[in-house]
Structure 1
Amino acid sequence: MRMEELTWPEFEKLKGSVDTVILPVGSVEAHGRHLPLGTDTFAPLEIAKRVEERLQELGFGVLVAPPVWYGHTFVLNAYPGTVNVGGGAFMAYVREIMREFAVEGFRRIVLLNGHGGNYSPLVLAAEEVAQEFPETEVWLVNWWLDFREDILSVCSSQGHAGEDETSVMLAIRPGLVRMEEARGRKRRSKVRVIKRDVGRELFPDGVNDDPSGATAEKGEAILSVVSEKIARLIAGENDGT
């Protein structure tokens, strides 16, 4: 069920049979010259849709909430089109959204995160909600990180605007991908350097990987395995892989 499509009486009735809500969280930021600014939200939205469909097949109900489009993206703020929300403000905003779901009676909130910069603020927000609402648990699912081994069985590498993300976008929004502009390479730093505009060093042109090998077929394979595993985890059917 998509929350924004329900009336309030329908929502009230749904709460009686559904205890889990999925909240997609992303960002609006540069993803090379070849991917749209909304990549980090498009991906978790699509995964949430597939997870809901798979859970229905498993006989499990879930509510999919409207996404949080803007995130904490200090590093990529060096590039035009990136909208960076300060970590404290972002944490507080997501915390209040989760508080409302806890007050409504949902016992499990799944933060389906699509952006690395969101990680620390989301952990802090989840801890505050868990402390205030002991009957509610928060799951933080970083789709590209938590299922890294599965993704690397499909792609040769991973990275920001890289082969994995580009493949996923080719599968779900191919009209927004400019493969003729898809180029880059992996950059690493031995320590975490925090300074203004560091993104231009770590993410030249907004990329940190080689996206040239991306295909829609690889993207479909990634989406399939990730959504299947998330659905089974929510339904309590962990296959141990």
Structure 2
Amino acid sequence: MRLEELTWPDFEEVKRRVGTVVIPVGSVEAHGKHLPLGTDVFAPVEIARRVEERLRRRGVEVLTAPPVWYGHTFVLDVYPGTINVSGDAFKAYVREIMREFAAEGFRRIVLLNGHGGNYPPLVLAAEEVSEEFPGVEIWLINWWIDFREDILSICSSQGHAGQDETSVMLAVRPELVKMENARGGRRSSRVRVIRKDIGKELFPDGVNDDPSLATAEKGEAILSVVSEKIARLLVGE
């Protein structure tokens, strides 16, 4: 069920029988010259859709909320089209969204995150909400990290705008992918360096991996295994 498609009486009835709400969270930021700025939202929205579909087959209902589009993306803010929200503002915004769902009676809130920079603010927001609502359980799922082993059994590498993300986008929104511009390589630092322009070093052209081997078939396999594993976790399998 999509929250935005319900009337308020529909919602009132749904929340009596549904205890879990899934909130896709992402960012609007540069993803190389080949992927759309909304990649980090398109992926978790599609995963959420597939999770709901799999749960429905098991006779389990969840509510899927509209995505949080803008995120905290300090490092990639060096590239045009990246819309960075400060960590404090992002934390406060997502916290208020979760507070509302908790106040409505949902006992489990799943943050289905598609962007690495969101992770620290999301943890803090979840901690604050759980302090206020002791009976509420918040799950923070970072799909590309939490299922890394599964993804690397499909792709030979993964990274920002890399083989895994590009494959997923080829499966989800192929018309938005420009594979003729898909190039890049791995960059890393021995320690975490925080500097305003560090993104140009770690993410040349907004990429940190080689996306050239991406395929829609790999993307479909990633989406399938990740959504199935999340669905199993939600039903306790």
TM-score range normalised by the length of the shorter chain = over 0.9
* Map 1:38-53 → 2, pairs under 5 A: 38-53=38-53
Identify the residue that residue 30 of structure 1 maps to in structure 2.
30
CA shift, 1:208, in A, is 0.1
How large is the RMSD of aligned CA atoms in angstroms? 0.3
Give me the whole-angstrom Cα distance separating, in 1, the residues matched to 2:8 and 2:49.
21
In structure 1, stretches of 5+ residues that fail to align are none
* Map 1:222-241 → 2, pairs under 5 A: 222-237=222-237
Identify the residue that residue 178 of structure 2 maps to in structure 1.
178
Offset from partner CA, 1:167-216 (integer Å, 9 cap, x none): 00000100000000000000010000001111000000000000000000
Q: Which amino acid aligns with 1:203?
A: F
> How many percent identity over aligned positions?
78
Identify the residue that residue 169 of structure 1 maps to in structure 2.
169
Identify the residue that residue 80 of structure 1 maps to in structure 2.
80
Give me the whole-angstrom Cα distance separating, in 1, the residues matched to 2:179 and 2:197.
26
Calculate the TM-score normalised by the size of structure 1.
Answer: 0.98
Give me the whole-angstrom Cα distance separating, in 1, the residues matched to 2:130 and 2:84.
26
Identify the residue that residue 196 of structure 2 maps to in structure 1.
196
Q: Does 1:135 align with 2:121?
A: no
CA shift, 1:126, in A, is 0.2
Identify the residue that residue 9 of structure 1 maps to in structure 2.
9
Give me the whole-angstrom Cα distance separating, in 2, the residues matched to 1:186 and 1:204.
10
CA shift, 1:220, in A, is 0.1
Q: Does 1:66 align with 2:71?
A: no
The structure with the largest helix share of the pair is 2
Give me the whole-angstrom Cα distance separating, in 2, the residues matched to 1:29 and 1:197.
15
Offset from partner CA, 1:110-151 (integer Å, 9 cap, x none): 000000000000000000000000000100000000000000
> How many residues get paired?
237
Give me the whole-angstrom Cα distance separating, in 2, the residues matched to 1:29 and 1:97.
22
Identify the residue that residue 57 of structure 1 maps to in structure 2.
57
Runs of 4+ more than 3 Å apart: none
Offset from partner CA, 1:9-29 (integer Å, 9 cap, x none): 000000111000000000000
3-state SS in 2 of match to 1:15? helix
CA shift, 1:77, in A, is 0.1
3-state SS in 1 of match to 2:94? helix
Give me the whole-angstrom Cα distance separating, in 2, the residues matched to 1:197 and 1:172.
31
In structure 2, stretches of 5+ residues that fail to align are none
Give me the whole-angstrom Cα distance separating, in 1, the residues matched to 2:198 and 2:31.
15
Q: Which amino acid aligns with 1:127?
A: E
3-state SS in 2 of match to 1:138? strand
3-state SS in 2 of match to 1:23? strand
Identify the residue that residue 109 of structure 2 maps to in structure 1.
109
Calculate the TM-score normalised by the size of structure 2.
Answer: 1.00
3-state SS in 2 of match to 1:124? helix
Give me the whole-angstrom Cα distance separating, in 2, the residues matched to 1:116 and 1:10.
34
3-state SS in 2 of match to 1:72? coil
CA shift, 1:235, in A, is 1.0
CA shift, 1:236, in A, is 1.1
